[in-house]
Structure 1
Amino acid sequence: MEKTKKLPVGMENFAEIRKEDFYYVDKTKFIEELLVKWGEANIFTRPRRFGKSLNMSMLRNFFEIGNDPSLFDGKPEAVEQLFTAYMKKTISVRDTSVRKSAKENFYHGILLGILGFKDGWMVTSNKEAGDGFSDITVRIDDSEIGIVIEIKYAEDGNMEAECRKALEQMQKKHYTEVFDDTDVHHILRYGIACNRKNCRVLLTKSEC
């Protein structure tokens, strides 16, 4: 017998509704309107008890995906799931109809935007490190963790292979030397490969 979803009567937390598998259908097109017609200030007017709090919670969960505590905490599966979900909601396959190097820059920019929402994170792009320039490096306030990210585009769809190339590149070019002489003692290396609206993430860890 198929399980019937519960109705979220009186609930205002979108994340809780999704996590607990309540029934939810959004017909407002708020997300689409903000992406297309955004402004420095946006006003949403609705009568009392008309769902404003839930709508705002939905928008916050969508646009502040980088604040999810499972993002880049040493769990590559969580990164893969969140990044893929974000791309499926926001980008078009036409966005990647360019040469390979430009495609990698495109996904690089998306990831920088997501990480920019993380409180207490110092995110740098194309920073000189070791014998090259790492795509993205992250220092976390009051933490001994450092993160290095290398992004590839899998033209042939073999994202696993491209992830491994990214990890090999970080190792070969000593990107983690950027954390030498710092209080970072735990390093996470993420190799991320994308193809259209999908991604694959591999992780290696080391101590220093």
Structure 2
Amino acid sequence: MSRIKRTRTINLEQMRKATSRNFVLRPVALGIVAALMGCASKEEVKVVASVEDCVDNTELNREQCEAAYQQALKEAERTGPKYDARHLCEAEFGNCRESGGFWLPLMTGFMVGQMLDRDRHYYYNPVYRYSNPYSSHYDRLMTADGNVVGRSGKTSYTVPKSVTKPKPTVTKTVSRGGFGAVASAKSSWGGGRSGGWGG
């Protein structure tokens, strides 16, 4: 019968090192969980400038890209920022058009993203390039409610899911510098807010 060998002395230093190693791992694990949760709240989207661009850079075929473009144009008319004067619109977006007595920025492109459902539905939000050189948002792509997509010149972007949500119908006009101010505040706007973009 063999005897169990007992250690007369306990090495406290080794125990402290082992314990500290356990505590070092925990924050790392929490960081991984936080990163995964952050990824879950974001999604990949494509921003295309035309039907041809859509065909070349997305999974949609030509017929689908044509429909996507037309839908984005309708959304731009419904949700795009409206200005009382041409110079106010051009000061923020450069190129604008007149519609229904208001001035609206020209759509730079449209966002193509896939809804997470079984039927593979897509959404097509219009996107605008902010061109005020005195703003920190200069050369950024934005959605109609002032959410920043990213710097222009790319096709793929990772955005918060709030960027891809449907936008409210706009009935108010934008005051000078209103679009950039709302983008900075990252707030939503529309007909239900008194003063709209400028308020």
With a CA cutoff of 8 Å and minimum separation of 6, indicate the structure with the bigger relative contact order: 2
Which interval holds the TM-score relative to the shorter structure?
under 0.3
